[in-house]
Structure 1
């Protein structure tokens, strides 16, 4: 049987990496995008015509970039951040219900609904809660990405990912220049936990979830090593052979991003990928040192 994956939001940093990974693993890949093109369908086409007949797995990565420093945190932008995640999930769930050939639906969301707690290390069995904008978004996002009970032909997997580490985008792209110039350092106090995962590991985890027919429910897409922002910054600086001296004050982050968004950078929970590991998944980059050395090697 041919293997064909449909990726919602497949043109960004993670989407490009996942498309390459799936192709390498023998999948045909089609992307859902706002713009038509080769091996693409639009969201409007999805709504009108449903999921293409040969698609066997669906992955949703869609969502407006929250940490885009060029965008002010206005009510309009907040609404776009919300609807770009929730509405796409709703659209895919509806389409999957009418597509019996789809056997796996993987929704990639965040970890913001694990409330930071110095004394507790979370795993997939812990409850999550809404306590600020980002946590409430994650709750609604996962709710929207839940297949109804009568859809029995498709497994429902929810990967909660930390900060994704890779050379071509995300946090690394934003901090590369100051660290390269020897001006990098931790954000705020640097004591806050930074849940993270290497891009390659996240992509392989998606493939693992698609191909293992016993996997359903929540998987934490975070590396096994729990580190603070300061520890990660030191690992990255060391990989670049640069100092790690210049911390970015909290008020600067809050001024640039606003209170809601700055929480993503200034706070974080201790999270373990307990169930992820129990499925037999093996991380290629389980430590910040290994991940940072790989990222720098590709520069």
Structure 2
């Protein structure tokens, strides 16, 4: 299978590329600059989609970059890096002489409204209550292709955990020094997934003809994991205490009130359709996932 991956040079893209190539698939990345096994977004816009069997978009500016102030300019970057790249790939697919058989977009569980009690499956409503939910809604609409020329799948990802990036990369040193702990109250749900499972779900969606529509990219244990549970499990995996909470006021000061919601609130998301479509998680439990990451 030939697969074109937008934004495939980042943390998740690297894991997906390694998995796809290990299964014998060819991968071409779409990034800012052309190079070996990659084309630029400008080339894609001008010359169209290279001949391929499937396409994936993982592109998106890091929302929780603590070095960027949450102002209008950065918000536009966050939106453009997701929505416009998706539109570009969707347009290229629609105009291709031989459209790919499958088209997968990875978005986020920010589509669902934060709640301590409500459980969300892929059929639950959302996408209309704050900046991030509306972003996901617009992002997913941008992926729509007229007619049935290709099979479309959306994977709504939780917090991605892995060795070489993602949320863990910013947490390890404080936890290793015994300075880690829950964020805010710690009672908020913590929807998480190991990067190998997120890559696995995307690969499963590409390879399995019957899979289409929305899949929740979270671990089966995710609905019962709070932020405090995660902090304790990470501390345990490192052999360190996890007793020092990061105060709400500090989170809001660093990230801003609107962006801070992503850390201070959460959703109980269930991968119902993901399991029903036959995907088997490599890391369904948090302690095992964290031991793999910190080993």
Give the equivalent residue in structure 2 for 1:89: 86
Q: Distance in 2 between matches of 1:190 and 1:167?
A: 23
Q: Are residues 1:276 and 2:263 paired?
A: no
Q: Distance in 2 between matches of 1:68 and 1:129?
A: 23
Q: Are residues 1:71 and 2:68 paired?
A: yes
User: Which string of whole-angstrom CA distances, capped at 9 and with x for unpartnered residues, describes residues 20-64 of structure 1?
Assistant: 1111111111110001211110000000111112x1110100011
Task: Quote the offset at 1:129 in angstroms.
Answer: 3.0
SS of structure 2 residue aligned to 1:127: coil
Q: Distance in 1 between matches of 2:257 and 2:75?
A: 12
Task: State which drifts further: 115-124 or 17-26.
Answer: 115-124
Q: Is the 8 A contact 2:178 2:241 kept in 1?
A: yes
Give the equivalent residue in structure 2 for 1:42: 40
1:129-140 equivalent positions in 2, closer than 5 A:
129-140=127-138
Query: TM-score normalised to the size of structure 2?
Result: 0.97
1:172-251 equivalent positions in 2, closer than 5 A:
172-225=168-221, 226=223, 227-251=225-249
Q: Distance in 2 between matches of 1:273 and 1:31?
A: 28
SS of structure 2 residue aligned to 1:140: helix
SS of structure 1 residue aligned to 2:110: coil
Q: Distance in 2 between matches of 1:135 and 1:98?
A: 29
Q: Are residues 1:258 and 2:256 paired?
A: yes
RMSD over aligned Cα atoms: 0.9
Task: Quote the offset at 1:101 in angstroms.
Answer: 4.0
Q: Distance in 2 between matches of 1:276 and 1:146?
A: 20
Q: Distance in 1 between matches of 2:176 and 2:16?
A: 27
Q: Distance in 2 between matches of 1:263 and 1:57?
A: 35
Q: Distance in 2 between matches of 1:115 and 1:73?
A: 21
Give the equivalent residue in structure 2 for 1:4: 2
Where does the alignment leave 5 or more consecutive residues of structure 1 unmatched? none
User: Which string of whole-angstrom CA distances, capped at 9 and with x for unpartnered residues, describes residues 152-203 of structure 1?
Assistant: 2310000000000001101100001000111111111111101010000010
Q: Distance in 2 between matches of 1:153 and 1:210?
A: 15
Q: Is the 8 A contact 2:205 2:211 kept in 1?
A: yes
User: Which string of whole-angstrom CA distances, capped at 9 and with x for unpartnered residues, describes residues 102-129 of structure 1?
Assistant: 0100000001121122332110111123
Segments of 4+ in structure 1 off by > 3 A? none
Query: TM-score normalised to the size of structure 1?
Result: 0.96
Task: Quote the offset at 1:73 in angstroms.
Answer: 1.0
Q: Distance in 1 between matches of 2:288 and 2:145?
A: 37
Q: Is the 8 A contact 2:116 2:189 kept in 1?
A: no
Give the equivalent residue in structure 2 for 1:121: 119
Give the equivalent residue in structure 2 for 1:161: 157
User: How many equivalent pairs are there?
Assistant: 292
Q: Distance in 2 between matches of 1:101 and 1:131?
A: 35
Q: Distance in 1 between matches of 2:149 and 2:75?
A: 35
Q: Distance in 2 between matches of 1:127 and 1:147?
A: 21
SS of structure 2 residue aligned to 1:112: helix
Q: Is the 8 A contact 2:116 2:188 kept in 1?
A: no
Give the equivalent residue in structure 2 for 1:56: 53
